[in-house]
Amino acid sequence: MSLGELQDLERRYAVPTYARNPVEFVRGAGARLWDAEGEEYLDFLAGISVLNVGHCHPRVVAAVREQVGRLTHVSNLYYTEPSLRLSARLSETSLGGKVFLCNSGAEAIEAAIKLARRARAAGKLVVLEGAFHGRTYGALSATPQEAKQAPFAPLVPGFEVVRKSPDALRAAVDEDTAAVLLEPIQGESGINLLSDDLLAAAREACDQSGAALVFDEIQSGMGRTGTLWAYEQTGVVPDAMTSAKALGGGLPIGALITGERLSDVLQTGDHASTFAGGPVIASAALAALEICADPDLLTRVRELGERLRAGLGALPYVARVRGRGLMCAIDLAEGFDAPELARRALLEQRLVINATGPATIRFEPPLIVAAADIDEAVQRLDRLGR
C-alpha cells in the first residue's frame, strides 16, 4: 500500500486524534528505522522513549518468540512465572515493595491514584504545573493542561495544581492530602528537570503530613537518565512510582511499584486488569529490564548524554540545552519553529526527533545508540540550519 492509500484509510476509518508525519515505517533495528521506500533513518525519539533497548533487540525478540508459541494468556486467576519474576525484579531494582502490573502509562497512574486514595480515603491529590500523566480520566485530571482537559469536563474531583515552587508545594500539602504526584523530569512539557529544592520540599511535606510521594517515571525510568530510575540522581526516594513506556522493550506494559510502607494498601479485589502481566509482555519486560539495568550501559548513557548536549549546544540556532542522560531538549533561538524543524529533520535529513512545543525539541535516542550516531545526528541538524 502506498502512503497515499494509507492516508486515505486514515481519513476514512481512523478517529482523527493523531497528527501523523507523512512517513510509513516498516522496519527497525537498534537506533535505525526504514521506511517503505527502503530509506534509512536515525531514530532519536525511540517511539517516545519506548525503545530504550533499541528496535527489535535480539534478547527481547527471542523472549517474545519463545513465550508466544508456548502460552499467551490465562488471566490473573492463575499463576504464571514471567509476571511474578518481573514483579520481583522491578521491586529489587527500585523501591523494595510490591508491584501492580498493567498495560500502559495511564493505567499505571490510575493504579497510583487508587493506591493513594485507598491509603487516605477521599484525600486530595497534588500535582504540578506543566505535568503530564496521561489521557484516561484520572490521569487526565492529574494533567493540568487546558487544551487537553477542558473539552472533557467535568474531571475527577480532588486534584489540586501547584506551582513548581517549594513554598507553594509545602502550603498545599496537609493532613487531607493523599499524594503528591510528580515527574522528577517533566517529559511532555519539554524535558524540564525539577529542582532538588522542590523535590526535597515534596519529600518533607509528605513525611510531615503522611501523604504518599509518588514519582511518575514512565518517561524518565528504564535507564533513560543514566541510572535505572531518575529518582536515584535526585537524593529523594518516593513512596511509590510508575513505569511504562520503555518497560516492555517496545511492547505495551505499565507498572505501579510501591515502597514497603504502601505495599499492602491495595487489597484483594481492589484493582485488576484482564491482560495485566501476561506471559508474553512480562517476558519481553524481563529482558528489557535486564538490558537497561546493566551498569555499563548506564555509564554510557551518562557519557553519551554529555556528548549529545555538547553537540546540540554548538548548533547556531540553539538557545538552551538541558537534560540528564539521554533525556534531552533544546530551546530554539528566536525566529525558529520547532515543529517545522522537526518535520524538516525527518523529511530532509532522515532524523527522527519530536517538538514538544513551539520552540522546544526533545531527543530521546535508544540507549544503545553509538557515539558515532550522536555525532551524525548533530551533523544532520547542523545541515538543517544552513
Interaction site with ligand PLP (CB under 6 A): 104-106, 109, 132-134, 183, 187-188, 216, 218-219, 244-245
Residue number with the smallest Cβ distance to ligand PLP:
105
CB of residue 246 to ligand PLP, shortest distance in Å: 10
CB of residue 339 to ligand PLP, shortest distance in Å: 19
255 vs 381, which CB is nearer to ligand PLP? 255
179 vs 381, which CB is nearer to ligand PLP? 179
43 vs 183, which CB is nearer to ligand PLP? 183
CB of residue 384 to ligand PLP, shortest distance in Å: 26
- Identify whether the C-beta of residue 292 lies closer than 8 Å to the C-beta of residue 246: yes
105 vs 259, which CB is nearer to ligand PLP? 105
193 vs 381, which CB is nearer to ligand PLP? 193
Q: Give 212's strand partners.
A: 179
- Rounded CA-CA distance 119/287 in Å is 33
CB of residue 227 to ligand PLP, shortest distance in Å: 17
CB of residue 108 to ligand PLP, shortest distance in Å: 7
CB of residue 379 to ligand PLP, shortest distance in Å: 29
For the chain, what is the HEC assignment?
A: CCHHHHHHHHHHHCCCCCCCCCCCEEEEEECEEEECCCCEEEECCHHHHCCCCCECCHHHHHHHHHHHCCCCCCCCCCCCHHHHHHHHHHHHCCCEEEEEEECCHHHHHHHHHHHHHHHCCCCEEEEECCCCCCCCHHHHHCCCCHHHHHHHCCCCCCEEEECCCHHHHHHHCCCCEEEEEECCEECCCCCEECCHHHHHHHHHHHHHHCCEEEEECCCCCCCCCCCCCHHHHCCCCCCEEEECHHHHECECCEEEEEEHHHCCCCCCCCCCCCCCCCHHHHHHHHHHHHHHCCHHHHHHHHHHHHHHHHHHHCCCCEEEEEEECCEEEEEECCCCCHHHHHHHHHHHHCEECEEEECCEEEECCCCCCCHHHHHHHHHHHHHHCC
CB of residue 47 to ligand PLP, shortest distance in Å: 11
CB of residue 229 to ligand PLP, shortest distance in Å: 13
104 vs 349, which CB is nearer to ligand PLP? 104
108 vs 286, which CB is nearer to ligand PLP? 108
187 vs 249, which CB is nearer to ligand PLP? 187
104 vs 258, which CB is nearer to ligand PLP? 104
CB of residue 231 to ligand PLP, shortest distance in Å: 13
- Identify whether the C-beta of residue 338 lies closer than 8 Å to the C-beta of residue 191: no
